[in-house]
Amino acid sequence: MPDLAVSRRSLLADASAALMRAGVPAPRREALRLWAEIAPGAMEALVLNPDAPVDPRKQRDLETLVRRRSEGEPFAYVVGRTGFRRLVLRCDRRALIPRPETEGLVDLLLAKVRTGRVADVGTGTGCLALSLATEGAFEQVIAADVSLEAIALADENRREVGAPVQLVLGDLCDPLADGSLDALVSNPPYLTSAEYAVLDPAVRQWEPGMALESGADGMATTGRLLTEGRRVIKPGGWIALEVDCTRAMMAATRARELGWRDVVVETDLFGRERYLLARRSAVT
């Protein structure tokens, strides 16, 4: 006997209830957003004809997404994409989900440098490199990561966006030539091991640890970028880093000690000290 088709209204009610039981905030809104992934125009259809029957395959697809979300998987991974500035990027467990506060790093760098050669070190989904390639006027944009999985995802995004970004696999600045860059941008891992250990499970259990944790003081990767950046950035070129808001001043002090000049800390959209910009001295 064929399954009895459920109505749009009852499917949405069941999905909302399942998400609510799992503790997902704003369960009805998320149920609607998940349903819209499967059935474009779903919101309008629901309003116009809530009692219309739902195709059983679409019902099963929605139930799968609701189950994944109920198990704690981040929304962006469940739907497989996320927005970053002007771009919609593929997003899955191979890389960190780009955060809204990272978007500001692009504006800060573009205010300093728009042309020449730039590298995004620790590219993840490729969000920074692809934004710079589409919004700047760079001659070359390099996207580097030590994770082969992240590079594969960034490659998929590069193809979808259609931006001329060169992908390289390697440890921080190792793949970059001496004095080759006008700018280096990075959102490196910057949590301490202790912070990482108590991080919200919604992040720790799903997003790659190597994207988040950086040694006992959280400064290991930032410190290395400040050191190695001096090798790969041309005299007068810029480094722009996202930093932990509790360690921004520590990072600025480290930068000055290493000989960077014009060191500034900038705040993010939440008013937190989030970015470090500095310039390599014009004299080597």
* CB 247, min distance to ligand SAM, A: 14
| Among 221, 238, 108, 266, residue whose Cα is nearest residue 182 | 238
Selected from 27, 124, 223, 237, the binder of ligand SAM by CB under 6 A is 124
What gap in Å lies between CA 4 and CA 30, rounded to an integer? 25
The residue with tokens 């006997």 is: 1
What gap in Å lies between CA 186 and CA 264, rounded to an integer? 16
Q: Which two tokens stand for residue 157?
A: 């995004």
Stretch that binds ligand SAM, among 10-18, 61-69, 117-125, 155-163 (CB under 6 A): 117-125
Q: Do residues 158 and 189 lie in contact, with contact meaning Cβ atoms separated by under 8 Å?
A: no
Q: Is the Cβ of residue 124 or residue 237 nearer to ligand SAM in the bound state?
A: 124
Selected from 74, 189, 218, 237, the binder of ligand SAM by CB under 6 A is 189
What gap in Å lies between CA 167 and CA 144, rounded to an integer? 6
Selected from 31, 38, 128, 251, the binder of ligand SAM by CB under 6 A is 128
* CB 174, min distance to ligand SAM, A: 8
Stretch that binds ligand SAM, among 10-18, 55-63, 140-148, 254-262 (CB under 6 A): 140-148
Stretch that binds ligand SAM, among 28-36, 64-72, 184-192, 228-236 (CB under 6 A): 184-192
Stretch that binds ligand SAM, among 21-29, 47-55, 139-147, 248-256 (CB under 6 A): 139-147
Residue 199's Cβ-side half-sphere holds a number of Cα atoms within 13 Å equal to 18
Selected from 91, 106, 127, 248, the binder of ligand SAM by CB under 6 A is 127
Based on the shown chain and the rule CB under 6 A, indicate whether residue 91 belongs to the binding site for ligand SAM: no
Our CA angle for 132, 101, 207, nearest 5°, is 95
Selected from 13, 210, 220, 265, the binder of ligand SAM by CB under 6 A is 210
Stretch that binds ligand SAM, among 47-55, 70-78, 185-193, 195-203 (CB under 6 A): 185-193
Strand pairing class (117-121; 181-186)? parallel
Q: Is the Cβ of residue 27 or residue 229 nearer to ligand SAM in the bound state?
A: 229
Based on the shown chain and the rule CB under 6 A, indicate whether residue 229 belongs to the binding site for ligand SAM: no
Based on the shown chain and the rule CB under 6 A, indicate whether residue 95 belongs to the binding site for ligand SAM: yes
Selected from 150, 219, 225, 243, the binder of ligand SAM by CB under 6 A is 150
Q: Is the Cβ of residue 59 or residue 214 nearer to ligand SAM in the bound state?
A: 214
186's CB contacts (< 8 A; 6+ apart) are 120, 121, 122, 128, 225, 239, 240, 241, 242
Burial classification of residue 216, based on how many CB atoms lie within 10 Å of its CB (0-12 exposed, 13-18 middle, 19 or more buried): exposed
| Among 84, 83, 79, residue whose Cα is nearest residue 30 | 79
The residue with tokens 């009895």 is: 4
Please report, as ranges, the residues that interact with ligand SAM according to CB under 6 A.
95-96, 98, 102, 121-125, 127-128, 144-147, 150, 171-172, 187-189, 210-211, 221
